[in-house]
Amino acid sequence: MARAIKTRSSGRNPAARGARAAHRSGNSAWSIRRARGVQVMESRALARLGWLVHGFSTRPGGASEIEGKPALNLGFTEWDERTRVEANRKKFLAALDARKMPLVTLRQFHSDAIHLAGAPIAEPPNADALITSTPGLLLGVQTADCVPILLVDTRRRVVAAIHAGWRGTLARIAVKTLGRMRMEFGTSSRDIVAALGPSIGRCCFEVGPEVAQAFSTQFPPAADWFDGPFEQLAHGEEPLWLPWLTMMPPGHVPPPPRVQLDLRASNRWQLIDAGVPGKQIDVSDACTVCQADLLFSYRREGAKAGRMMASIGMRKP
């Protein structure tokens, strides 16, 4: 069984130095590339594969506007105009040097559903993971706190893009996607290179007892992924906090206890437990909540939040 490893967000803002720059936090596995007026985050491990196209979008630039600033919103949200989002997507694809690659996206619903893409799709299917072995297609999943995961089979040349919120993480969507790659294409875990992109960090992701209990029953090392009274909540020992039970006057009752969950650590452990070498997994330390100038966060901004996109594809020979 894989050893659980904690990952923590530094809370520092990434910076770019020239065309590419590592995060100031010291995570040299990641860089930011500036192109077409936008900033694209990259995994250095994936960037070394010349036949691959990949990138994680960020907030600055674009045709959308949030609080008077241009924003690269890539999701068709209620507050934004469709024409602006379409322009943003074109700009993002141009920054990836993928303007001629059809973009395949999903209607995401926090599931463990996986779609196998072999050609451009007119209507996005309902799923939270995409797989393709077809060169020339660009896969994309949208996030605004959840973990975007990109998988690459470097031997058989198969790629996947995954959207993993806490429900998808609990349902082991990353491992199930790897299993589907194995079933369809003969992928071996040892040939996988993975990148877990910017998401809400352990520092900011507060959850209640129902989440702690669910993870406790599914994963033996779950306690390593939580800060706070995990054991207390995971075993149903939540203290009575209603005023009439504690005899405390209204306004003086402490809130029910919460814990903080590290989604990236959970997904990383799951991939290692499935056979992916740990040294082949890049994990970003960028927290979407902490880094408001660089990233969108639904937890911080609510319905006004934009959407980022994690994309991956293979160039045609």
| pLDDT average, residue stretch 73-100 | 98
Which of 261, 290, 305 finishes a domain?
Answer: 261
- Please name which of 101, 109, 119 lies closest in space to residue 141, comparing C-alpha atoms: 109
pLDDT for res 131: 98
At 34, which amino acid appears?
R
Question: Is 239 domain-assigned?
Answer: yes
pLDDT for res 286: 98
Question: Is 182 domain-assigned?
Answer: yes
Question: Is 196 domain-assigned?
Answer: yes
Give 243's pLDDT tier (boundaries 50, 70, 90).
low
Q: Which two tokens stand for residue 130?
A: 């995409």
Q: What's the pTM value of the predicted model, to 2 decimals? A: 0.88
**pLDDT per residue as tens digits for the range 115-134:** 999 999 999 999 999 999 99
Question: Is 221 domain-assigned?
Answer: yes
Q: Are residues 164 and 276 in the same domain?
A: yes
**pLDDT per residue as tens digits for the range 126-176:** 999 999 999 999 999 999 999 999 999 999 999 999 999 999 999 999 999
At 168, which amino acid appears?
G
Q: Are residues 186 and 99 in the same domain?
A: yes
Q: Are residues 113 and 193 in the same domain?
A: yes
At 53, which amino acid appears?
V
Provide CB contacts within 8 A for 127, sequence distance 6+. Answer: 106, 107, 108, 111, 113, 114, 115
Containing structural domain, residue 125: 20-203+268-314
Question: Is 81 domain-assigned?
Answer: yes
pLDDT for res 13: 38
Q: Are residues 82 and 56 in the same domain?
A: yes
